[in-house]
Amino acid sequence: MNKPASVPEQCDAVVVGAGFSGLYMLYRLRQLGLSVKVFDSAGDVGGTWYWNRYPGARCDIPTTDYTYSFDPELEKEWTWSEKYATQPEILEYLRFVADRHGLRSDIEFSVTVTSARWDEPEKRWRITTDGGREVRCRYYIMATGCLSTPKSPDIQGAGRFTGQVYFTSRWPHEGADFTGQRVAVIGTGSSGIQSIPLVARQARQLAVFQRTANFSVPAHNGPAPAGRLEQLDEDRVAYRHAARWSRGGVPNEPTDVLGVTASGSVRRERFEAAWEQGELFGILNVFADQGVNPASNDIVAEMIREKIRSAVEDPETAEALCPKDHYFGTKRPCLDTGYFETYNLPHVRLVDLRKQPIVSITEDGIETADESFGFDAIVYATGFDAMTGALVAADVAGRDGLSLKEKWAAGPSTYLGLMTAGFPNFFMLTGPGSPSVLSNMTVSIEQHVDWVAGCLEDMREEGLETIEPTALAEAGWDQHVQDCAAITLYPTANSWYMGANVPGKPRVFLPYIGGVSAYRQACDEVVSQGYLGFRMTGPGGVRCRDGVVRRMQPDVAMVLELVAAMGMPPMDTLSAADARALLAATAATRPPGPEVGEVIDGVIPGPAGELPYRLYRPAGPPEGPRPLVVYFHGGGWVLGNLDSDDPLCRDLCARSGAVIVSVNYRHAPEARFPAAALDALAAVQWVDANAIELGGIPGQLAVAGWSAGANIAAVACQLARDTGGPHISGQVLICPVVDSDTTRLSYQENGDGYILTTALMQWFWDHYADPADRGDPRAAPLRGDLEGLPPACIIAADFDPLRDEGVAYARALEAAGVPVRLARARGHTHTSVTMVGVVISGAPVRAEIGEALRDFFPSAEPQEHLS
């Protein structure tokens, strides 16, 4: 008998996964009145907590916080028994939630989605399951978790072993009994570190194969933390609200104590308190700078290593257990119960794979470079194909037939970690590019589910059928995700955050490190701006407000927030004297900039009296003369001095390998136009004439300057050309003032809110030059003759009112035949590139300046590496 042709099933939404995110997504979709099918390859709800049943499996966020907040009644009905609940208790909780809300009726277990195809004419997804069913739906939602696809054992001979094999991530429901057995555990991530003390209790012999020593902190498990319980009892709503607007999804007071400047006693006190607290976000927040500053990070790391050394009796084992190849926190730290002490047991042994790598798994054990081990059981605690593994596991093909796997071949690309261009109506819950694993997952899950539900509701109200990100918005978000990571130490580690644990996986920082609150704000802004960066379609046509939600470098944005919070008066409302005092006061609190070989103060005979200078000589070899760079500080011809740009000069010196001579010129309003420009020329001529005495190489002279300093540097080049020298090898103009026209687009875009405002620039001009003089090329070098000028490196910052005149100068120089290197300071303001040691994202721009200077002088050697 022929089987009747099956009729494809229809529903509004298919959700894959019935863990924390899938269950809540189902609940919200039902609230919207949508028909939903949830598929999960597991036999029950639970997701991660269904599979990871290994002994000792617990969450590593206090369970007071690792819990749903959407249902106040549920919060009353369920009480967690411990600070960190066990896997069985969390699984029980999820079962309780599923039953309480009658969710099971829409969930099908033991069903795996094998493929999903977008049908453009139908505007539907066609979902195929392993049972050969086809389901058509409008929305396809992946609630597949970040750590759900186990990494296959990438160890030679893994299939040969004839004893018992266990994976922590696929632990048998009936459990495992290691009594009397010789057991190997491979892997010392959270799963290994949680399970090893318990496996050791049963095993006759236990060998732990460690590739990378890991930081772990005692969980101090027990009753839920009293402080958190009190806060919850007092005002649960406020507590949950604080979690949603916190950095990690757990209410925590962020510290402003810097490790590098804190006293020894403060360091110790803060560290011991965090150690006692036994919470990840506590130990990751001992110092505000431990995630970005290697020196600060090392203070925490060394204190943890001390703890390991005092816990482990055998010094050699202790040393092998001390993590030394990555910064603390850059691989996920663990919370443990008696992990390090386990190595004091006589039957437990650590095998350091850095000293004796595994050659092969054999029929009866493991062979390393030095030894053969016999085992009855091997436990793989080797981790997951994190964050992307489950998403690309099913064969998902978007609008043009392109598969997600192909699209992401060089790393995932998403908008907000929620959607990806080319895949309409395809949502990822806690996808790559969202805070996810760097946050309390339950808070991030609820935020994502709420966002998706809100989006579907808005679409329905407006009669829209499809939504997908634009290429521009997605590229902007990808960039922002990487920018946020780049200012931290995180990308330096071979972590699963970087995809480094899976052979062949592209190295891209996968989660969003900007924090839960910053992320939530970005998502909310996207919606409030009419779904900025999304293309939506419906019978009425296309609706799209294209754009990028975060273009500014994250640390620049932080500086702007800090400045705004300080409530300083606008400079342009002050007298010159008061503005100078304010600048000096803020400069006094900055980091000093890098060490250089030598700093000497002196004076130059200027055209109208002596001009102070400060000379910076690079440290280290080669001995002997160096190229010279005459530098002019910024400050609108009114503000600034040798101190104001001191960190920047040190940085330029170290990066370029040149001697920097920073010259203080006469300031307005005391000495108006063209005093500063004439001083600049005089300084360049004097430095050239005294090159040998200054330790320079005669004939190898460049000029550099920032802002108004760049203005007079550019003018000095024109004047030197016209007045018989000296020869200038190159000019570096950082965010230069080259014109007095304030009508350019960059003034309109950036004239307010980015420190240098249109009003302040006007104030500078008013102090410096009469309106009639402002078109003079000695005030506005863009209006001068540009032929025969030295090669230029021009920095133009995105959020600078002067951006477009810098670009215009570059173009005009090029047109005049001058070699130009125009570097865009992406996401920067007029001032941020110069904030050495504060704005980390400025470092690559300054590296480019250093490179440009070295190119002017091919013989120069850079100093040691600077971050």
The CB-of-194 to ligand NA7 minimum distance in angstroms stands at 8
Of 611-630, which residues contact ligand NA7 (CB under 6 A)? none
The set of residues, in sequence order, having a beta carbon less than 8 Å from that of 339 and lying 6+ positions away, is 193, 194, 196, 197, 216
What six digits make up the tokens of 662? 């920073």
Min separation Cβ 232 and ligand NA7, Å: 24
Residue 127's identity, in one-letter code, is I
Distance (Å, whole) CA 586 – CA 834: 14
String of contacts with ligand NA7 for each residue 212-241, x by CB under 6 A = x-----------------------------
Q: Which stretch binds ligand NA7 (CB under 6 A): 188-196, 359-367, 629-637, 793-801?
A: 188-196
The SS3 of residue 551 is coil
Judged by CB, which is closer to ligand NA7: 10, or 156?
Answer: 156
Q: Which of 69, 86, 144, 188 binds ligand NA7 (CB under 6 A)?
A: 188
Q: Which of 128, 191, 388, 711 binds ligand NA7 (CB under 6 A)?
A: 191
- Does residue 633 bind ligand NA7 (CB under 6 A)? no
Choose which of 29, 103, 135, 147 interacts with ligand NA7 (CB under 6 A): 147
Residue type, 527: V
Tell me the window of 187-195, 416-424, 469-477, 734-742 that interacts with ligand NA7 (CB under 6 A): 187-195
Q: How far, in Å, are 3, 202, 474, 551, 606 from residue 206 at the CA level?
A: 55, 9, 48, 52, 78
Task: Considering only the stretches 110-118, 171-179, 205-213, 753-761, report the one whose residues sit in contact with ligand NA7 under the rule CB under 6 A.
Answer: 205-213
Residue linked to tokens 């100078």? 580
Is residue 148 within the footprint of ligand NA7 (CB under 6 A)? no
Give the residue with the Cβ less far from ligand NA7, 143 or 473.
Answer: 143
- Number of chain residues interacting with ligand NA7 (CB under 6 A): 22
Nearest alpha-carbon partner for 525 in 547, 555, 558: 547
Q: Compare residues 160 and 727 and give the one whose CB is closer to ligand NA7.
A: 160
> Which is closer to ligand NA7, CB of 168 or CB of 440?
168
Q: Out of 383, 435, 469, 806, which residue is the one contacting ligand NA7 (CB under 6 A)?
A: 383
Q: Name which of 190 and 205 has its Cβ closer to ligand NA7.
A: 190
State which H helix or E strand residue 721 sits in.
helix 708-722
CA gap 825, 841 in Å, rounded: 9
Q: What one-character DSSP code corresponds to residue 545?
A: -
Q: In which region does residue 299 sit, left (phi positive, over 0), alpha (psi from -120 to 50) or beta (all else)?
A: alpha
The DSSP secondary-structure symbol of 430 reads T
Q: Tell me the one-letter amino acid at 176.
A: A
What DSSP line would sit under 732-801, residue for residue? EEES------TTSHHHHHHSSSSSS-HHHHHHHHHHH--GGGTTSTTT-GGGS--TTPPPEEEEEEEE-T
C-beta of 337 vs 466, nearer to ligand NA7? 337
Cα first-last separation, the chain: 73
CA 596 – CA 787 distance, rounded (Å): 36
Closest distance to ligand NA7 from the beta carbon of 23 (Å): 19
Among 25, 90, 155, 548, contact with ligand NA7 (rule: CB under 6 A): 155
Does position 382 interact with ligand NA7 (CB under 6 A)? The reply is: yes
Which residue, 41 or 188, is less far from ligand NA7 as judged by CB?
188
659-663 and 626-632 strand pairing: parallel
Spatial separation of the C-alpha atoms in residues 133 and 117, rounded to whole Å: 13
| Rounded alpha-carbon distances, angstroms, from residue 704 to 166, 523, 684, 856 | 64, 41, 11, 12
- Comparing CB distances to ligand NA7, the nearer of 88 and 620 is 88
Q: Which stretch binds ligand NA7 (CB under 6 A): 185-193, 281-289, 390-398, 587-595?
A: 185-193
Helix (H) or strand (E) holding 616: strand 609-617
Q: With respect to ligand NA7, which residue has the nearer C-beta, 168 or 656?
A: 168
Piece of 274-282, 304-312, 381-389, 517-525 that binds ligand NA7 (CB under 6 A): 381-389
Query: Among 192, 431, 618, 827, which residue interacts with ligand NA7 (rule: CB under 6 A)?
Result: 192
- Quick check: 145 and 21 in contact, CB under 8 A? yes
Q: Shortest approach of ligand NA7 to residue 250 CB, angstroms?
A: 14
Which residue from 29, 37, 30 is spatially nearest to 11, judged by alpha carbons? Answer: 37
47 binds ligand NA7 (CB under 6 A): no
If the CB atoms of residues 188 and 388 are measured against ligand NA7, the closer one turns out to be 188
Q: Which is nearer to ligand NA7, 113 or 147 (CB)?
A: 147
504 by Cβ neighbours in 10 Å (0-12 / 13-18 / 19+) ranks as exposed
Q: Using the rule CB under 6 A, is 186 a contact of ligand NA7?
A: yes
746, 801 contact by CB (below 8 A): yes
Q: What are the backbone dihedrals phi and psi of residue 822, each rounded to the nearest 5 degrees, phi first?
A: -100, 115
- Which residue of 17, 189, 365, 862 would you call a contact of ligand NA7, by CB under 6 A? 189
Is residue 167 within the footprint of ligand NA7 (CB under 6 A)? Answer: no
Of 77, 154, 269, 314, the one binding ligand NA7 by CB under 6 A: 154
* x/- letters, 308..347, toward ligand NA7 (CB under 6 A): ------------------------x---------------
Stretch that binds ligand NA7, among 182-190, 311-319, 522-530, 755-763 (CB under 6 A): 182-190
Block residue for tokens 């389901």: 135
Under 8 Å between Cβ of 826 and 814: no
The verdict on 501 binding ligand NA7 (CB under 6 A) reads yes
Backbone φ and ψ of 121, nearest 5°: -60, -40
Query: Of the candidates 381, 523, 703, 810, which one interacts with ligand NA7 according to CB under 6 A?
Result: 381
What minimum distance in Å lies between the beta carbon of 288 and ligand NA7? 23
Residue whose CB is less far from ligand NA7, 41 or 191: 191
**Torsions phi, psi for 502 (to 5 deg):** -110, 120
Q: Does 511 bind ligand NA7 (CB under 6 A)?
A: no
Give the C-alpha separation, 163 to 140, whole Å. Answer: 41
Residue type, 438: L
Helix or strand holding residue 428 (H, E): strand 426-428
Return the range that interacts with ligand NA7 (CB under 6 A); candidates 382-390, 421-429, 765-773, 833-841: 382-390
Piece in contact with ligand NA7 (CB under 6 A), picked from 376-384, 597-605, 822-830, 846-854? 376-384
Which single residue brings its beta carbon nearest to ligand NA7?
189
- Write out the H or E segment, with its range, that includes residue 848: helix 843-856
Q: Does residue number 496 form part of the binding site for ligand NA7 (CB under 6 A)?
A: yes
| Pick from 402, 496, 465, 474: nearest CA to 212 | 496
Give the other-Cβ count within 10 Å of 564's Cβ: 10
Comparing CB distances to ligand NA7, the nearer of 283 and 381 is 381
Q: Which is nearer to ligand NA7, 69 or 190 (CB)?
A: 190
CB 730 within 8 A of CB 794: no
Contact string 352-371 vs ligand NA7 (x = CB under 6 A)? -x------------------
- Check binding of 187 to ligand NA7 (CB under 6 A): yes
Binding site for ligand NA7 (CB under 6 A): 147, 154-155, 168, 186-192, 209, 211-212, 332, 353, 381-384, 496, 501
